[in-house]
């Protein structure tokens, strides 16, 4: 009987270990990729810490309208996540609503992955997540090899209202599991 109890304990502990292995790990910090990004317009972007309702995030501060295109290979099982918000250009002028969009391109196609509308009535950070797993890994194809593609992540902001505003992309990163991060680190060296 003690052997059966011990077996059950071992199974429970092993299941717990698997959970630790599946923990998300940051593979790409998009703040570090900022300098290599194509910025439209070419001015008005900055990296700064922003605090909203007591929560601070290092952020890409972008003018509205704008488009930031970041070229990079992607990790397997990747998920892009960021905390987004908006801020007014001036203290005495309220920010107008904005539309944020995340997309991906490989110079042949553009795919829209996620959208969110932000209004000044909603104060605080909003988590936006999008699955990037279709753009990395091995696929059953002779011609499609997403691990070999230099993808372009597109972070875009469009004005909905009339007053100026700035978009905040807080703590933008691509996360994956531990195995995906390790494989990505080795593969990314080939792209440099």
pLDDT digits (tens, 9 = 90+) for 10-67: 445 555 544 444 678 999 999 999 999 999 999 999 999 999 999 999 999 999 999 9
Instruction: Assess if residue 175 is contained within a domain.
Output: yes
Cβ neighbours of 57 (radius 10 Å): 19
Find, among 119, 74, 111, 115, the residue nearest to 94 by Cα: 119
pLDDT digits (tens, 9 = 90+) for 64-111: 999 999 999 999 999 999 999 999 888 888 888 999 999 999 888 899
Average pLDDT, the chain: 86
Instruction: Assess if residue 150 is contained within a domain.
Output: yes
Instruction: Assess if residue 19 is contained within a domain.
Output: no
- Per the listing, tokens 């004005």 go with 159
- pTM, 2 dp: 0.83
Q: State the Rg of the chain over Cα.
A: 20
The neighbouring-strand residues paired with 174 are 28, 80
Instruction: Assess if residue 4 is contained within a domain.
Output: no
Instruction: Assess if residue 77 is contained within a domain.
Output: yes
Instruction: Assess if residue 9 is contained within a domain.
Output: no
CATH at residue 135:
2.60.120.260
Instruction: Assess if residue 132 is contained within a domain.
Output: yes
- Per the listing, tokens 């987004």 go with 84
Instruction: Assess if residue 100 is contained within a domain.
Output: yes
In terms of residue numbers, what domain contains 141? 25-191
- The Cα 42–Cα 150 span in angstroms is 22
Our count of domains for the chain comes to: 1
pLDDT digits (tens, 9 = 90+) for 130-159: 999 988 876 555 555 566 788 999 999 999
């Amino acid at each position: 009987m003690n052997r059966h109890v011990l077996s059950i304990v071992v199974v429970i502990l092993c299941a717990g270990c698997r959970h630790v292995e599946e923990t998300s790990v940051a593979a790409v910090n998009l703040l570090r990729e900022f300098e290599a990004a194509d910025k439209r317009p070419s001015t008005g972007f900055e990296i700064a810490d922003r605090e909203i309702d007591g929560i601070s995030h290092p952020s890409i501060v972008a003018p509205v309208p704008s488009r930031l295109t970041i070229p990079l290979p992607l990790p397997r099982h990747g998920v892009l996540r960021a905390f987004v918000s908006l801020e007014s250009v001036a203290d005495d002028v309220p920010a107008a609503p904005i539309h944020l969009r995340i997309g991906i391109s490989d110079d042949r196609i553009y795919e829209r992955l996620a959208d969110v509308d932000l209004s000044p009535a909603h104060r605080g950070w909003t988590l936006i997540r999008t699955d990037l797993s279709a753009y990395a890994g091995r696929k059953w194809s002779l011609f499609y090899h997403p691990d070999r593609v230099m993808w372009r992540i597109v972070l875009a902001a469009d004005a909905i209202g009339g007053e100026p505003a700035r978009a905040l992309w807080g703590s933008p990163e691509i996360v994956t599991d531990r195995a995906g991060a390790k494989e990505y680190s080795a593969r990314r060296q080939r792209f440099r």
